[in-house]
Each structure stands twice: as structure tokens, then as C-alpha cells.
Structure 1
Amino acid sequence: MIRLGLRLALAGGREAMVRLTIIVVAVAIGTGLLLSTLAGLNAVQTQNERFAWLNTGARTDAVGTADPAWWLLRGDYFHGDRMARVEVAATGPRSPVPPGIPRLPGPGEFYVSPALAREIRATPADQLADRFPGRQIGTIAEAGLPGPDFMIAVVGDTPQHLSRQPHVMRVTRIESIDPSSCSGCRVGTDADGMALLLSVVAAALIFPLLMFIGTATRLSAARREQRFAAMRLIGATPPQISLIATVEATLATLIGLLAGFGVFFALRPAMATITFTETAFFTGDLSLNLRDVLAVTIGIPVAAAVAARVALRRVQISPLGVTRRVTPKPPRIWRLIPVALGVAELAYLVGRRPPTTDGQVVAYLSGIFTVMIGMVVAGPWLTMAGARLLAGRARRPAALIAGRRLADNPQAGFRAVSGLMLALFVTAVASGIISTIVDNRGTPVDRGSAANVALVQSFWPNMGQKASLPTDPAAIPPTLRSAPGVRGVLVTRLNPQFRPDILSDTLPGLVACSELASHPLLGRCPPGAQVAEVNPDLQGQHDGGTIGPVTTWRAAAVTPAGLAALPMLSVVVQTDGRAATIERSRTALENAYPGRDLPATNGEHDGDFGKQLVQWQQLANVVILTSLPIAGCSLAVSVAGGLTDRKRPFSMLRLTGARLATLRQVVALESAVPLLLVAALATGVGFLTAHLFLRAQLDYSLHSPGLSYYLVVFAGLAASLGIIASTLPLLRRITGPETVRNE
């Protein structure tokens, strides 16, 4: 029977080869995407392990035996991109050494990553290289880099100088624990959260793929069932029929499985460039372990064998199971209950968000997946409702025939567009959520606004550390005030009335109104005031995190003489907004105040979140650009397979006088009505799901996606209608008189 199954699969004519090829393609795409998702999860874990050493000193329980080293980790920016700077000083020959470098740099020496080395070579020294005193003695190897474009510098210093800097730590070992498992770690990716996100992306891709594979498996189902039923009539037993079907399905699956590994290795270089974490991946980090390979190579053929057995359930009943055809029972309205339950669960979470992250994950995912499953369950009933409406309002024979045929078997009509429905639902949810978050929190500020032109060097104190704040602004380089592009330098002081542990309207900073008068972009004092209460960055904070200009600050009950005696809170450099001016000023401030928080603009801080949104949008685009073509392929296979299975009834209609144009209209309406119906349903339910999630999690209302989303959806629907139209020429060839004679 195994040899017979192989012969039927490989030598069963053009129809068998077409079915085999389509199943191979479907399995190959599914396997490639599944392997890519597993490799992505492994890459996140590997990247986190590379991040681990940057959290050295974060855990107080870390014990080592080497000579201690002084360690200071600070964040920096260059042209809006984040950069890490680690300052180290060895106290002995056995001081711990980070991965990627052979030894700790001494005073006047530093190592940089290859990406930072390229920037140093391409940038004037006063904008970047002067931040690192001394000379570069090497580059950091891949073992110490989270990603190929990550910018980091390890700078050497003397123990006497570095030990006196604020926030410095004395460490005896290099951290090696995964940042997602370290409660005190500051650098790295939440691997659990990223695993959840990638799992959702995988599910969003796998659902349409499962529909595609199921549709491909059912290609020419009617003719295959007739063939198997005939074999039953001549004495074949149910186990033998099942074995033949399983061999056919398994053969195609194994070929597709091998091709899927090729798809994965072809996708891997492009996938490595998608920065959905803090940095891109090394291509080698997108790897598969033995467990992943075994799970895929065993799981997919087993699933194919199960699908083949399920597809033959009618033939298993009796040898006459195919010929005893009856109209399927119409779907009932109860099919709407699952989707209603999913929407109700998401609506219940509005105002009742679970307190823990795990609870939120379970609640939201269960609600969204319930909606997705519910739409698949409800699809046949909605198709039947649309078909009955079409038949009831029919004015032409084609509309009446199409409506009646859809109403008789709405499951088959919906099956052709089910993959597209899920793709449109996922697209609507992803685009709705991302667009709303961008509109509320990621809207870029004007290029000339204070958020982009004001560089802020902050001395924000920790609790009980006011004495560590500088009081004399003499350290500010005199050349900074007169540097090209610098419009002014302002100093804010710590407000003695400000209490960070008490909620009040008192602002933390103070500024002299005489200094502020010449910088209207940073606000102004009320009439008659000499000192004003301000924020350290001289910018206001509006609801939703959007930076906006403040026209008038509140007057403070402090005299100018008393202001000069207070500790400094920040230095604000107003620039012309050009990148060269900002980087030159940043370098000057970093050298003037070593060991302090590194200067940055508010636009750069906001840009970090904006880049994260871009990373999420990239994932959403992957889902959109992958799921829609898969759904289109599923639609093409389903329509073509339906035409093949209906050769006899269509041929009979032609023999009774039906025009070929009428039959083409019937096929077009049978496919287009469910398509447009589920497109409207999927988009509407997707937007509703996104709105409920946003209200529950972020208290945002849904914002309509941009024009690009609607263009993508319109293009997807137009392509789907084009696919339907491309199958219509088959009718002339498969509905001739010879078809009835041969049947």
C-alpha cells in the first residue's frame, strides 16, 4: 500500500502533481516561517546573554575572587542613537575583564565597538572622539557585542580618579546572568515579553498558513474521495485507504519540510536586519537547537498525517459515503457566540486590568484568540446570511444560482476566504494599536522646538545626595558659550522647597529671570519676577508625554543672591538644532563634568520610545506583508480547486443552455460575496478589538490608521479579486461536453 500511495502521488497525472506541488509550497512556507520564529526567540536569548556583562555591579550578591575594579556605566547619544560607555580602572592583575577585549584598558586607553569605530573615523574629533581621552587600542570582539550596530566604548581610568566619581561601583566579577532573569539589571531586553510578542506574531502568521495548508490538502477533494470510495468497493479496507492517503500527505509534507529549511536559511540574513529589540542580530545568533529541529521535523509530518485522516472521514463511513451526498445542515446562529464571548472578555477588562503582567498576558491573549477562533466559527453563518440576501434580491440568473449554491453549502464558500479574513483581522489589530500609540506618545516634535535644540546636562540628585551636586558653574568651558551654533547657556539651581517624596505643584528647579529673558524658546518669567520655578530641562510636560513649550513659569520666593548659593540642578545649552552643534556641545559638557549623567535632548529621550514603536511597526509590517499573500494563495487554490470539483454540474448547466458568461458570473459572485463580507467583518472586529485593548491597557481611544493601511488593504482585496478573475478562463476548458461524457 505504501508503494501504491507513492505511485498515486507521483504518477497520478497532472492533477496529482499540481496538488503535490501546492502542498509542498504551503508546507515549505509554513516551516520556514515557523523556524524563523524559533530562531528569533533563540536570538533574543543569545543577545540577552551578550548584554549581561553591561549589568556588572547591578546585583549586590555577586561575589568574585579577583582583584576589584572600579566600574561606571553611563548612557550616551550620538546623532540620536544610543551609545554605552563603560569607564573602568583596574586595582590589580586579576581585575575582572569584560568579554570581547583581551585586558582592561589603562589610563588614556579605550576599546570601541566596530560600529562606533566607523563613526569616530567619519566624524570630526570635537564632536565624538574627544569624549574618549587617550588612544584607541583595539575593537571589541563579537563576544562582547549585543549586535553588529551596537555602539559601545570601554574607557580606562586611574583608580584614584574614577573612585571619586558619582555612582561608581567596586566590582569583583563580570555579570553573566540573563538580564531578563536579573531583578537589578538595567540593560537588556525583556526576553519573556519579546517571546510573547514573537509568539503572537507567529500565531498571526500560522493561522493563515494552516488555512492555506488545509485548502491545499482538500484540492480535488471530490475526485480523490470518489477514487478512494471506488477502492473501497473493490475490497480495500479503511486502514488501507487511510495508509494510502497518509503516504500522499506525508510525501508532500516531507518534501515541503526540507524545502522549509531552505526557506529559513534564505530568510535568515534579512531577518537579522529587523531591529525589533535594542539592536539588530548577528546572523549566526538566529540559530536552531536540536529541540527546535526535532519538534518541527516530527510535528509537521504528524500533523499532516492527522489532517489526511480527518479529510477522509466520509469515506471511512462506507464505500458509498461519497455517492450518498445530501445538502449539509445549515449553520445555526449559535456560531456567533464565541466571537461575542471574546469581545465581551476584552470589554470586561476595560477598567479591570489584571494587576500582574502574567495576568494581563493571559487575559488579553485569551480574549484576542477567542475572537479569532470565534470569527472562524461564525464565518459559515455569516456567509449563509449574505448568500440568502443575495438570492432574495437577485435579478439575474447568475446572482440567483450563486446565492442558492452558497446558501446550500456556506462552509465551502467561507473556507476559501477564511485565511484572508484572519489576515485582515490581524492587520487591523496591529495597525490600530500601533497607530494609536504613535499618535498619543510617538508624535515627533518640531525640528526647531526646545525638545530638539536644548541639550540638557542634568545633576539630578538621588535621595540624600544633595551635597554631591556642583555649586560653581565655572567648570562650563568658556568656549562653549561662544561656539558656533550655540545660542546660550543657562544654569538651573535646585529648589530647596522641592520634595521628591511629596506630591505637590512645586517644580524642582530655579532659574534667574535675567538669564531666561534672552531665551524665549525656553519660556519666560511672569512680570516683576526675579527668579522662576522651572523643570531641569526648561520644558513643560503635557498629558500623554508630549513635550510642549511653556510660555510662563511660576515666580519663586528666592532672591538672585540666594539663588547663586544653591546647588546646580542642570546646565541647558540652547543650540541651533544642527547635529554638529549638538554633538560638539555634548562633547564639551561630558569632558567638563566627568562621571555625571551624560547630556541629551528631550527629543533624543523621546526618540528612544519612537524607535521602539518603529520596531513594533516593523513586526506589524512583517505580519501584514506575509499574511496577505498567504491568504491570497489560499484563495487561488480554493477557487481553482472548487472549479475542478464542480466540473460536472457546470458542464451540465452548459449543456442545458447556460452561457459561459453566466457561469463566470456565478463563480465570481460565489467567491466575491464571502470575500467582501468577511473583509468588512474582519476589519470592523479588528478595530473593535484594538480599541478595547487600548482602553484597558493604556486608556487610549482608537485612532484611525494612516492612509498606507487602507492602501494595503485595498491592494490586498484588489489582488484577491484579481486572483478570482484569473481562474475564470478555466471554465471554458473544464466545462465542455467531453467532461460529462468522461464522468
Structure 2
Amino acid sequence: MTARTWIRDLLMGARFAVSGGREGWTRTLLTGVGVGLGVALLLVTTAIPSALAARDARADARSERTAPTAEKAGHDTLLIAMADTQFRDKEIHGRRVMPEGPDAPVPPGLSRLPAPGEMAASPALDALLKSTDGALLRERLPGKVTAIIGDEGLVGPRELAYYETNEALKSSGTTPRITGFDNSAEPEPLDPVLTLLIVLVFVALLMPVAVFIAAAVRFGGERRDRRLAALRLVGADGRTARRIAAGEALAGSLAGLVLGAGFFFAARQSAAGIELYRLSVFPADLDPTPWLAALVVLAVPAAAVAVTLFALRGVVIEPLGVVRTAKPARRRIWWRLLPPLAGLALLYPMIGQGNDNGNFNQWLVIGGVVLLLIGITALLPWLVETVVGRLGGGSVSWQLAVRRLQMSSGAAARLVNGIAVAVAGAIALQMMFAGVEGDYTRNTGEDPSRAAISAMLPPGVDASGRPEAIARQIGAADGVARATLLTTTQVAPTPDHQNSIGLTIGSCAALREVARLDSCKDGDTFVVRGGYDASTTEAVAKPGRKLYAGNLYGDGGPAPVVWTLPASAREAAGRPDPNGTERGGILATPGAAPKGLGTDQFAMIYVQLDPAVPDAIEHARTAIFRADPMLTPFHLQATEQSERFASIRTGLFVGATCVLLLIGASLLVSQLEQLRERRKLLSVLVAFGTRRSTLSLSVLWQTAVPIALGLALSTAVGLGLGVVLLKMVNARVSVDWVSVATMTGIGAAVVLVVTVLSLPPLWRLMRPEGLRTE
């Protein structure tokens, strides 16, 4: 058999697909839509690396992390300070700048720096500030927007970002001074477990896509087989008929490639207006990697031909018909167990490897997971056939559904293969993420129940009442229950920093945040025992001893202040402050604290919120900004998660959302194709008096039974795969049954929605007029 024969027969099949009248066009179109949806998602996947690289490149271009710096002001220097903030659940990238010369660097996306009192904002932030939802944010960012940041200065089209010129930076001695923007720091390589997670996310999300594409090329199988029987009648042999069938599938897959490219470009153009889990991309960023796109273009038609030939291996096509209506041989299970067992064999050598024994073999991981998930597609037809073969009795709708499933259990299994693979992968990933989450989450020691926000005035604040005024202003704001102020400086037995210890100054209520005090009044002092500098405190903090406070480093400021620790100083047990810091040294109320400390101290304000006030945290953020734009607020949280781990999990959620949309759309197309093939049968049943409600229920049962079996199988496989993966990373094996139920419920909900959406077309098909033919 020559390649010329193959090409001739494939082209003949392609002609049948596009010139077979309305039936042929409809089948080709349905196949094209099903394949096209999968191809579109595959193209999006191939574009992800370039999109992430473009985002990172723009972030580095505007960063000051490793930017060149200068010690003194010059014609090309710029003072820049972080001013990031948060509005509800949205992060806002902000920078305060102050040019010190005419050639000061300008951030990407701007042609000039804004003038004092002005602000440059991203399009999304500008729109938010102008909207009614942004009223609270306008109070925090009152500068007039005079420029819009261009795309090259933003990581994404929906990013909230701004630059604000603030002359107060001139008076701060700690503001970084740069001569350009750059971040050339090499990121740390991912550890083996995070790399494994990325591989698993891609495999688990792309496998359902491949399954759906394989199912889509088999649309209209029964009608196609009858056409092949007609070809046998005019002289074609069995192999020729199969090659012609592969040509029809090839035509549908090529149509799918064209439609998929169209779907991809349509989605690409609308990408700027879409934000998933705080992630958005510019359309130009979605540029598929050429070799990956070429692989998709070649693999999809090849898979269509291979799947069609594989599907016809057990079908006897004779000149007078297709031997499919006879009772088929029972499916055997032994060979269907081989793929999952082979997958386990590939993963077994990596059990116990964890993070300490090098990277996981990515090809073994991919091969093992793919084989386990393919095992679902092999086992599900056998499971459906075995179960429905034992069903019977019940209502008319149930009997109609069961009989249909018994006659075409393979088609029913193909309908739910994709959702079963998706659910199994999701369950395994959820177990994996839950199992290793503790390794990438740390306890910060912070106590959000005592303070929601801490705001620090950096070293250099004046002691002449300014911190107290700021704390009062913040404490008087709406939504703030209390603002607690603590100022800290250093004291030592000599006028230098040798053997220095901390001196914390605050009201009695404020000091109780850092120590356990039985009684306290203004004028009291306390010595904290057991703090982080316990031995030095014991040697230095002796009641009645003369100490030096303030400028202990001799940096050109005023001389240290002489202060005597009162003889009435009492011992107190320390406690961690809301930030989790356990202070030591000396505590003093304002009446006993040394005077004239100047700028040799820093202040910390702890803000407690009033839960009865709506948007209390937004009011508090605004109050902190208004009190002093140079304040640095920190949101207290009991735990902190690795940014890389959180990013991978966000990628999983984004990908899962896209796959769920594909699953829903593909299921709907598949359901409509099956209804189209059964149009005459439905018309016959209606003509004989079958009620529409009975037929509608039968369609629901035909979907529900395979879905229930598919979800049961996918849960078992997903749990098994999750256990193996957790053992590979040396994590404790545990099952989050809530997540398992959630994944299973989402899969069932998708199918239920698709079934409901297919009811209107079903009702249109249930008419006696459908018996008419030409």
C-alpha cells in the first residue's frame, strides 16, 4: 500500500465531509466546533509562557530593585518610595517620586513625571477613581490625574497603578535615590516540589482537552458507518472504507483548526477586558510559542485519523450494513487495567524523594500521570456497560434511557470521559496542594485580633508631639476603634551604642500591648525580664542608674540625653506585641521618659478596627495616608504564604476555569450532535403518543447514569493519584473530603447545566414532522 493510496482515500473522505449535503456539513461543523474549542484552549496554553515572560519583563523594566543609585542629588537623580496600597480585594501598585534634576529618569509608560500634587494612573485605576465605587479611594489618592500610564509601564491591562510626585521625600533621609529603572536580579530557581506542581497543573488541565478533541472527531459515527456500508456496496474494500472515514475525520479536524484559530484570536482580542483571579494580560502578550503551536497544528489532525481508525477496529463494515446493531462482545477489563498500572510503575521510583533528593524526573511524572488519567477513559466504557447491563424496570423514561445506554454504552462513556478526567485531575491536585501547603505557609506571629494594621514612622521622627498627633488623627477616623502609639529609642550605660537596650515609651494602655502590667500610671517605669536581650537588660537596667538615650551612634546629631532610670522601676513580664515582636529593655510612660530625644527614635502605631462600620479597613487606610503620606502601613495576618506557591495555585484556578468553560461548551455540542442523530427516533416516539416530559426525563437519565459512574471512577482514581503524589513529596497523606465533594459537585453541576440547555433543542426535535424525508 503506497502513500498515494492513503492520500487518495483521505481526500475522498474529505470530499464526502464537505459535499455530503446538509447532513455532511452539519456533522463537519459540529466536529469542527468541538475540535476548535479544544484547539483554542491549547493555543492559549502555548501562549502562556510568552505572556508570563512579557509581564515579568515589564515589571523588571519599571522596578527600582537593582536600579543604579547615587549618593547625592544630581541632574539625573530621582527620589522614589514605595506607596503600594490595597482597595478592598485589589492590590494597587504605587510609587511616590521626586525628581532632583532635569534629567531624572521617567518610568516606562510615561513621557514625563507628574508635577507636585499631580498623579499618573493606569487606565483601570483612573476608571475606578472616577466611578462611584472609588469614592473611598479618592479620599486616599486625592491627586489630580494628569497622565495615563501606557501599556509598557503596566504588567496587565487591569492593573491598578499610579505615580505621585511628593515634595516631602526631600526631607526624608532614608528615601532611595536612583538614576534609572531596572531589576536584573536573577530569580531563585524553583524547588523540586513547586516544579512538580507546575508540571502536574499542565498535565491535569490539558488531558481533558485532549479527551474532548478525541471525542469530537467521532461525532456522527453511526451515520458515517452507514455511508461506509454504501461505499462497500459500490466496490470499496474494508481498508479503503476505513481510510475514507479517516479522511472525513481529517476534514473535521482541519475545520476545527481553522475555527480554533478564530476562537483563539477572538479570545485574544477580548483578553484586555477579562480578569481572572486578579490576573489580566494584554492581547499582544498572548503570542503562542511557534514550535508549540506547530505541534498543535500537526498533532490534532494526526490524532483525528488515529482515533477514527482505532474506533473502527471492531466494526465490521459490509456492503449491506454495519454489524453494530448485533449484540457486541463484552468488553474485557484486563487490558484496561494496564495503563493505570503502568502509570503507577512510572511514578513508583520517585516515592519518598521529597525536596531533598534532586528534581523529579519530569518525563516519568508526565508519563505516569497521563497513563493514570488515560486509564479512566479505558475503564469507563467497561464500567458503564457492566452496570447498565444489569439495570431494568422502573418508569417509562427510565426504561427508555436504560435501553439506549445498553445499545450505545460506548457513546455514553465518551460523553463523560472528559469530565471524569478533569475531576480526577482536580481531586489529585487539590490533595497535592493541601498536602504541601504547610511547607509554603509560615506563622508570622502577628495577631490580627489585637490590631488589623500597624503603621511605622521610620527613624528620624521628631519627639515634639508629632507621633501623638498622628495617632490621635488616625484614632478619630471612622472605622477605627483605637490607635495605639509606641515610640522606641536606645539607651546605654555609656554615650555610645555599646551594651545598648531598647526603651519603649507609651501610655499605660499602650505598654500593656508589650508587657503584662498589674498596675500602671503615668510616671511609672518597668524593666522587662526575659526579652530578646535579657542578659544585656539585666546588666544595664538597674533602678537608679544613669543612662544615655537618643543619639548613641554619633552621626552628627545632638548629643545623647542623660537620663536616670527611676529607683521606683518595677519588673514586668514581657508579651509579644501585635506584630509578634517580643520586646525587652525598659518601658516608660510619657511622664517618666527622657526629654529632648530629637529625631533619634521611631514610632509604631497599631490600629484596631470597628467591625460595626462598613469598609472600616478602607477608612483606616485613608486615615493613615492623610495623617502622613510617608507612613508605611502593614496589614497583620497570622500566616503568610509563599508568593510562588500562591501564584501556581492562582494559575491552577485560572486554568481550571478555562477548562470548565471548554467542558461545558464541548458537552453541549456533543449533546446536540447526539440529539440530531436521534431525531427520527424521537419523532417516531412522539408520533406514537410518548409525552415530551417522558422523553425529557429519559435524556436526563441517559446523562445522569454515565455521569454518576464517571464521577465515582474519577474520584477513586483521583484519590489514588493524590496519595501517590503526596508520598512522592514526603507529605502526610490526608483527604480533604470537602474539596473532593466540591470537585465532584462542580463536575455534576456542569453536566446538569448542559442537560438543561439541551432541552429546548430536544423539544424542537420532538415533532411528528421530523419523520418527513426526501
TM-score, normalised relative to structure 2: 0.66
- Checking the alignment, whether the CA contact within 8 Å between 2:343 and 2:372 is kept in structure 1 is yes
* Corresponding residue number in structure 2 for 1:631: 667
Cα offset, 1:221, TM superposition: 4.4
Match 1:484 to one of 474, 477, 482: 477
Counterpart of 1:378, as a letter, is L
Cα offset, 1:716, TM superposition: 3.9
* Corresponding residue number in structure 2 for 1:34: 42
Cα offset, 1:32, TM superposition: 2.7
Match 2:452 to one of 431, 454, 469: 454
The CA deviation string for residues 452-487 of structure 1, in whole angstroms up to 9 with x for no partner, is 963212479xxxxxxx67694844261540433344
Counterpart of 1:626, as a letter, is L
1:101 aligns with 2:92: no
Q: Aligned partners of 1:106, 1:357: CA distance in 2, in Å? A: 53
The CA deviation string for residues 538-589 of structure 1, in whole angstroms up to 9 with x for no partner, is 569xxxxxxxxxxxxx896744379879954732233436245313332145
Secondary structure at 1:573 match in 2: strand
* Corresponding residue number in structure 1 for 2:216: 213
Q: Aligned partners of 1:139, 1:26: CA distance in 2, in Å? A: 42
CA 1:605 to 1:629, structure 2 compared with 1: closer, same or farther past 3 Å?
Answer: same
CA 1:58 to 1:224, structure 2 compared with 1: closer, same or farther past 3 Å?
Answer: farther
- Checking the alignment, whether the CA contact within 8 Å between 1:53 and 1:175 is kept in structure 2 is yes
* Corresponding residue number in structure 2 for 1:174: 181
1:51 aligns with 2:85: no
Structure 2 runs not aligned, ≥5 long? 1-7, 442-446, 492-501, 521-525, 527-571, 686-692
* Corresponding residue number in structure 2 for 1:261: 261
Cα offset, 1:433, TM superposition: 7.3
- Checking the alignment, whether the CA contact within 8 Å between 1:47 and 1:146 is kept in structure 2 is yes
Cα offset, 1:144, TM superposition: 1.0
Q: Aligned partners of 2:508, 2:264: CA distance in 1, in Å? A: 64
Cα offset, 1:641, TM superposition: 5.3
Within a 5 Å distance, the mapping from 1:148-547 to structure 2 comes to 148-156=157-165, 161=170, 164-165=173-174, 168=176, 170-171=178-179, 173-175=180-182, 182-183=187-188, 199-200=202-203, 202-216=205-219, 218-231=221-234, 234=235, 238=239, 241=241, 244-268=244-268, 271-276=271-276, 279-288=279-288, 294-311=294-311, 327-328=328-329, 330-333=331-334, 335-339=336-340, 352-355=353-356, 359=360, 368-387=369-388, 389-390=390-391, 414-426=413-425, 428=427, 450=448, 454-458=452-456, 472=463, 474-476=465-467, 478=469, 480-482=471-473, 483-485=476-478, 486-492=480-486, 514-516=508-510, 525=516, 527=518, 533-535=574-576, 537-538=578-579
1:677 aligns with 2:670: no
Q: Aligned partners of 1:290, 1:683: CA distance in 2, in Å? A: 37
- Checking the alignment, whether the CA contact within 8 Å between 1:28 and 1:257 is kept in structure 2 is yes
Match 1:585 to one of 623, 628, 652: 623
1:128 aligns with 2:140: yes
Q: Aligned partners of 2:593, 2:365: CA distance in 1, in Å? A: 52
State the number of aligned residues: 668
CA 1:620 to 1:255, structure 2 compared with 1: closer, same or farther past 3 Å?
Answer: closer
Secondary structure at 1:138 match in 2: strand
Q: Aligned partners of 2:667, 2:452: CA distance in 1, in Å? A: 49
Q: Aligned partners of 2:79, 2:122: CA distance in 1, in Å? A: 18
- Checking the alignment, whether the CA contact within 8 Å between 1:328 and 1:409 is kept in structure 2 is no
The CA deviation string for residues 394-453 of structure 1, in whole angstroms up to 9 with x for no partner, is 8999999999998898656533432332244345556777899999999xxxxxx94596
Counterpart of 1:489, as a letter, is A
Q: Aligned partners of 1:209, 1:338: CA distance in 2, in Å? A: 19
The CA deviation string for residues 60-100 of structure 1, in whole angstroms up to 9 with x for no partner, is 899xxx97634545252142432233345556655543211
* Corresponding residue number in structure 2 for 1:20: 28
CA 1:405 to 1:354, structure 2 compared with 1: closer, same or farther past 3 Å?
Answer: farther
Q: Aligned partners of 2:411, 2:124: CA distance in 1, in Å? A: 55
Secondary structure at 2:508 match in 1: helix
- The percent identity for this pair of structures is 20
Q: Aligned partners of 2:462, 2:18: CA distance in 1, in Å? A: 85
Query: Which structure has greater helix proportion?
Result: 1
- Give the RMSD, CA atoms, in angstroms: 6.0
Secondary structure at 2:738 match in 1: coil
- Checking the alignment, whether the CA contact within 8 Å between 1:668 and 1:724 is kept in structure 2 is no
1:571 aligns with 2:569: no
Within a 5 Å distance, the mapping from 1:102-117 to structure 2 comes to 102-104=111-113, 111-117=120-126
Query: Which protein has the larger Cα radius of gyration, Structure 1 or Structure 2?
Result: 2
CA 1:306 to 1:207, structure 2 compared with 1: closer, same or farther past 3 Å?
Answer: closer
CA 1:709 to 1:633, structure 2 compared with 1: closer, same or farther past 3 Å?
Answer: same
Within a 5 Å distance, the mapping from 1:616-627 to structure 2 comes to 617-627=653-663
Cα offset, 1:334, TM superposition: 5.1
Q: Aligned partners of 1:99, 1:305: CA distance in 2, in Å? A: 50
Counterpart of 1:359, as a letter, is F
TM-score, normalised relative to structure 1: 0.69
* Corresponding residue number in structure 2 for 1:464: none
The CA deviation string for residues 202-248 of structure 1, in whole angstroms up to 9 with x for no partner, is 505513422431431635343144234334xx26695x656644543
- Checking the alignment, whether the CA contact within 8 Å between 1:532 and 1:556 is kept in structure 2 is no
CA 1:719 to 1:586, structure 2 compared with 1: closer, same or farther past 3 Å?
Answer: closer
* Corresponding residue number in structure 2 for 1:548: none
Q: Aligned partners of 1:590, 1:70: CA distance in 2, in Å? A: 21
Q: Aligned partners of 1:516, 1:150: CA distance in 2, in Å? A: 39
* Corresponding residue number in structure 1 for 2:3: none
- Checking the alignment, whether the CA contact within 8 Å between 2:114 and 2:164 is kept in structure 1 is yes
Q: Aligned partners of 2:341, 2:665: CA distance in 1, in Å? A: 29
CA 1:59 to 1:412, structure 2 compared with 1: closer, same or farther past 3 Å?
Answer: same
Counterpart of 1:129, as a letter, is L
